Structure 1
Amino acid sequence: MPFGTDFDFTNMNVAVCIAALVSYGALYAWKARNSTKTLPHPPGPPGFPLIGNLADLPSQPAWIAYLKMGEKYNSDIIRLNVLGSNIIILNSAEAITDLLEKRSQNYSDRNEMVMLNELCGMGWGTAFLRYNNFWKDQRRAFQQDFHPEGVKRFRPIEEEETYLFLEKLLKRPEDFMDHLRHMAGAAILKIAYGIEIQPENDPFLYTAERATEAISATTNAGSYLVDVLPFLKYVPAWFPGAGFQREARVWKRYAMKMLHEPFEMVKHQVEIGVAPDCVAGSLLETMVKGAKDTGYMESVARGALASMYVAGADTTVSALGSFILAMVLYPEVQQKAQAEIDQCCSGRLPTFADYNSLTYCHAILREALRWNPVVPLAVPHRCSTDDFYKGCYIPKDSLLVGNTWAMLHDEAAYPDPLIFNPDRFIKDGRLNPEVRDPTVSAFGYGRRICAGRHMAYESMWFNIASILAVFNLAKAKDEHGVEITPSEEYIMGFLCYPQPFKCDIRPRSSELQALLEATRDNISSQT
């Protein structure tokens, strides 16, 4: 699709192509003449006049293509110049740490992200905001409830939604990915807004899922040409080649509903004194009420709350989907985890009281986040001032992309990285501090690290422990009784998910099934 994802320059509408290049050519030539030409840039493909490395932007999986590009140029930092925009890929933990972590003051900004923020209406998203006071205020809103101790307040909700999820696995195990998606969305919407969503076809959940589609489609650097040539945002939707405008119009409708509808509902509940215990009610009372500029602070709260779903729902689904795939492919890992759970939780299901005891479940979660990262390429960081690194010049406004996949598949840190092996994180029965923790990179970098990471991690750990306590996960069989081995292929995008696969999910015993039902009934009677 012109100007869309997996952009193919040779297929771009000719009229728009000529207009874009003619309009941009003079500016690009001027920038080239006036740049600091004597300073060495990071290595990369030579490119072509005017368009630079536009033709070198890889299709999915881009993270592997960038890693190979780095190997070709014998560098862990490579450069692409796309129509004058400087894109720098960081392919190692050292480069990512040195720049995005240690120099975070200079690398915490974002690019304008015209397609996502302006055209799709997602400019309120905490992860995509420019590094300014509005972003800082949103981070403060997150930190009010999502610091390591604060997230413990939400454990009862996570437990309740997990047990509902397990019940659905009992009834319709073949729909496990749909159940995961419903569980993750239900937990976050209840935590953020106090919303009890419907068992099926919930309108709030549908709106949020449609809005987050825009993020997966548009966020990787170079996905849409309008992010490189911002003037294209003025091209009318009817113009040949402007399909991106029509896509954005659909996504924006859901983005606005996601931002406003649940917030207005809680705001009204607060006004009449019937608001449930939730983050929205807390922010309205502590940040908005009594603020010098209530309108501004309310917009901060709106954006932070809607961002909670963006930050947590799809990432949880991806990571737990990878976990289930791994258990099917590596039954010995599953058996080892179940032995630990049985020893620790004899006669009951795991609880958060077992958080520090079920070490192997932590190792499985770390490996799931490492094996197939939820976000293989980090959201691009923007350089605020000129910089130098390893003798290379990094101009102001460059976009730096952390290749998380490359970092988490570094053979020096993780031998046999394509193999799912939680034991790599274990030493003498404990988590080995000498092995790099994948959560350090799985949730982003520097000052832009995910503010909801503590709750997300706890929720995923509890789901892993609970699933393994109750169920056996194995390869499905065809009509002839032959095992079906999943392909290990993924749906590629900014967020990645396992391709749909079949597996056999059934209770480990009738006693454990009865225990699940009794535990669920006990929780229901208390809520």
Structure 2
Amino acid sequence: MSLQASVFYTALLVSLVYWRWRSYKRRRGLPLPPGPKGWPIIGNVYDIPHDHAWLTYAQWGKTFGDIIYMDVFGTETIVLNSLQAAIELLEKRSANYTDRPDMIMANDLMEWGWDFAHMRHSEWWRRHRKTFHQYFQPRAITSFQPVQEAATFTLLNQFLDSPSRFAAHVRQHSGSVVLKLVYGYDVKAEDDYYVALADEAIHGLGQAVHAGSFYVDFLPILRHVPAWVPGAGFQLQAKIWAKSSHALRDTPFNVVKKEISQGIAIPSFVTENLEKMDSSDNVQEGQEEIIKNCAGISYLAGSDTTVSVILTWILAMMHNPAIQAKAYAELESIVGNSRFPCFDDRSKLPYLEAVLSETLRWNPVTPLGSLNFYGVYIPFADQYRTALPHRAIAEDVYEGYYIPAGATVTPNTWAIFHDEALYPEPFKFKPERFLPEDSKHMPPDPAVSGAFGFGRRICPGRHLAVNSAWIAIASILSTFEIRKPVDATGKEVDIPIEYTDGLVSHPVPFHPRLLPRSQAAVNLIRAAKDDSFAA
């Protein structure tokens, strides 16, 4: 071993011992939350689940309780398995849990630091959130409805023309809504460049934070390891993935700026905010960068989360024909069969609303909002996950347990939504739970109890996402019947309910039959397509 390598690994060992000593030193005599015992120095490296971590953490909750402690090389993580704990810490004490831990691989090496969902709590983060919220706030949502309806008409036509590609069509639908609202861009085809760009960026980020663990976030010193050192190939890979990050953020934004200069830009989030900035006499430094960053994360996040909701709903309807029939009967009684559902119908469709709530609960889009620690790949630490994490700014105490300053704190949304005390028979798809005869027994609404996060870090685009999912679900239900596939003999084939691991969890690819409900439904869909072309 060279002298340089010997010095480096000696410094690494000293750092590990110091961090371990520091973690024991600062407990103030109070116990840490219970959790797997772990090993000296390396902690819980061998205990971390390799996939679908939320299931393991929920199982651990039966042994250790609602709050679980783990650490790897002194990096401390606390998992909250109950709604009570999540609300107490992340909502009621949100001022202490608004921060994010450092994400060296993603933010620094892959250059995703522009994504304000990853940013540390700061004035810079607050300016991003304010800019985003002012455009996507609830009272502005109604102005987006024509875009969402037009995208849904395209989706229905694609279901008619190529139902076997339904998942790709759903992805295009979600991407087209966001691209239109954020950049004024009309998606032209299924293989649209911008939709593919978002997929590429999501893939790169997903590979970094989900496909394996990299230790640079445990041991920040590793960021300085040259790429030629054995095990440091992450440095080269990070540079490749960084290109997607920059392309996602910069390419559509620069196109809109050019269109503005030519006087041909379509109104959008970017144009509205750039024009507001240009007309202001008191523009803060960095405002254009904030607009570009907010547009980029809208484009990325909006291209994936709504997809999971719609696909989960299709999977649920395929497995629950009686629920599908009941929801359709309610829809038909209000809408009939001579027009499409519209947003004005929503308040008159309580059962369909309950179906949407149950979809959000049954298999949540972000079971942990999962991100894992990343850096140098170590096989035995594969898939070490926390949530899109909160960070304790100051030390705290909960239920007699000590929470160290700097600890990552993550809610296990999957465990919360499958808590039998809150949602009896949690593994059943049961919309009726959100329509109790006695309002006192109404379970927590998933949309405000974890589906989109907690506290000051709750997803600011949640209202847009829910509306996009609702109009798509209502329109598909009004025109198509969703059934299981059949084999060569015509017998229905049972499809397992399985979900992918990752930041956003999707149903494992499946193949439903999408059958038009009638010729009238087909004519309605085709007429909507012709009208959109005429417009």
Q: Residues of 1 paired with 2:193 and 2:429: CA distance?
A: 37
Query: 1:30-429, aligned counterparts within 5 Å?
Result: 30-32=21-23, 34-36=25-27, 38-73=29-64, 75-219=65-209, 223-287=213-277, 289-290=279-280, 292=282, 296-346=286-336, 347-378=338-369, 379-427=388-436
Tell me which amino acid in the other structure corresponds to 2:334. Answer: C
Residue of structure 2 equivalent to 1:522: 531
* Residue 437 in structure 1 maps to residue 428 in structure 2: no
Aligned partner of residue 98 in structure 1, secondary structure: helix
What is the alpha-carbon distance in structure 2 between the residues aligned to residue 452 and residue 174 of structure 1?
30
Shift of 1:217: 4.0
- Alignment partner, residue 457 of structure 2: 448
Matched, 1:27 2:18: yes
Moved more, 250-259 or 460-469: 250-259
Kept in 2, the 8 Å contact 1:16–1:241? The answer is: no
Taking the aligned partners of 1:502 and 1:15, their CA distance within structure 2 comes to 55
Q: What displacement does 1:18 show?
A: 5.7
How far the C-alpha of 1:219 sits from its partner, in A, is: 4.8
**8 Å CA contact retained: 2:57, 2:79:** yes
Q: Deviations for 1:319-339, whole angstroms, at most 9, x for unmatched residues? A: 111111111111111101110
Counterpart selection for 1:479 from 458, 477, 488: 488
1:419 and 1:166, CA in 2 relative to 1: closer, same or farther beyond 3 A? same
Q: Contact 2:277/2:283 (CA < 8 Å) preserved in 1?
A: no
8 Å Cα contact 1:163/1:520 also seen in 2: yes
Question: 1:52, CA displacement in angstroms?
Answer: 1.1
Letter in 1 for 2:163: P
Q: Is the 8 A contact 1:216 1:495 kept in 2?
A: no
Gaps of 5+ in 2: 370-387
State the SS of the aligned residue for 2:347: coil
Using the TM superposition, give the Cα deviation of residue 40 of structure 1 relative to its aligned residue in structure 2, in angstroms.
1.1
SS in 2 for 1:477: coil
Note closer, same or farther for the CA distance 1:510–1:200 as it changes in structure 2 (3 Å cut).
same
Deviation at 1:32, TM superposition (A): 4.2
Counterparts of 1:221 and 1:87 in 2: how far apart (Å)? 20
Equivalenced residues, count: 511
Q: Using the alignment, how far apart are the partners of 1:299 and 1:433 within structure 2?
A: 47
Residue by residue over 1:200-229, the C-alpha shift from the partner in whole angstroms, topping out at 9 and shown as x without a partner, is 322211111111224434457994321111
| CA deviation vs aligned residue, 1:11-41 (integer Å, no higher than 9, x gap) | xxx9999668525333224414632362211
CA–CA separation in structure 1 for the residues paired with 2:203 and 2:230: 24
Farther-moved stretch of structure 1 (215-224 vs 202-211): 215-224
Answer whether contact 1:208 1:255 (CA < 8 A) is retained. no
Which deviates the most, 127-136 or 220-229? 220-229
- Listed one character per residue, the Cα deviations across residues 46-76 of structure 1 (whole Å, up to 9, x for unaligned) are 2111111122111111011111112112x20
2:150 alignment partner AA: E
Query: Which residue is equivalent to 1:466?
Result: 475
Deviation at 1:239, TM superposition (A): 2.9
- The farther-off stretch of 273-282 and 232-241 is 232-241
Relative to structure 1, the CA distance from residue 354 to residue 135 in structure 2 (aligned partners, 3 Å threshold; closer, same or farther) is same
* Deviation sequence 1:120-179 (CA, Å, 0-9, x none): 221111211111111111111111111111011111110001110110000110111100
3-state DSSP class of the match of 2:49? coil
- Equivalent residue number for residue 7 of structure 1: none
Stretches of structure 1 lacking an aligned partner (at least 5 in a row): 1-13
User: How far has the Cα of 1:291 moved from its partner?
Assistant: 6.1
Q: Could you tell me how far 1:273 is from its partner in structure 2?
A: 2.4
Take 1:467 and 1:494, find their aligned partners in 2: how far apart are those partners?
A: 27
- Once residues 154 and 525 of structure 2 are traced to their aligned partners in structure 1, the CA distance between those partners, rounded to angstroms, is 10
User: In the superposition, relative to structure 1, how do residues 511 and 431 fare at CA in structure 2: closer, same or farther (>3 Å)?
Assistant: farther
Query: Secondary structure of the equivalent of 1:88?
Result: strand
Calculate percent identity across the aligned residue pairs: 40
Residues 1:231 and 1:333: Cα distance change in structure 2 (over 3 Å): same
Aligned to 2:497: 488
Change (3 A) 1:188 1:291: farther
- TM-score (norm: length of structure 1): 0.92
Query: 2:156 & 2:491 partners in 1: Cα distance?
Result: 27
Structure 1 pair 15/171, CA: closer, same or farther in 2 (3 Å)?
Answer: farther
The answer on whether the counterparts of 2:479 and 2:517 sit within 8 Å (CA) in structure 1 is yes
Rounded to whole Å, the distance in 2 between the matches of 1:365 and 1:404 is 17
Q: Report if aligned partners of 1:28, 1:84 keep a CA contact under 8 Å in 2.
A: yes
Q: Indicate how the Cα distance of structure 1 residues 142 and 514 shifts in structure 2: closer, same or farther if over 3 A, else same.
A: same
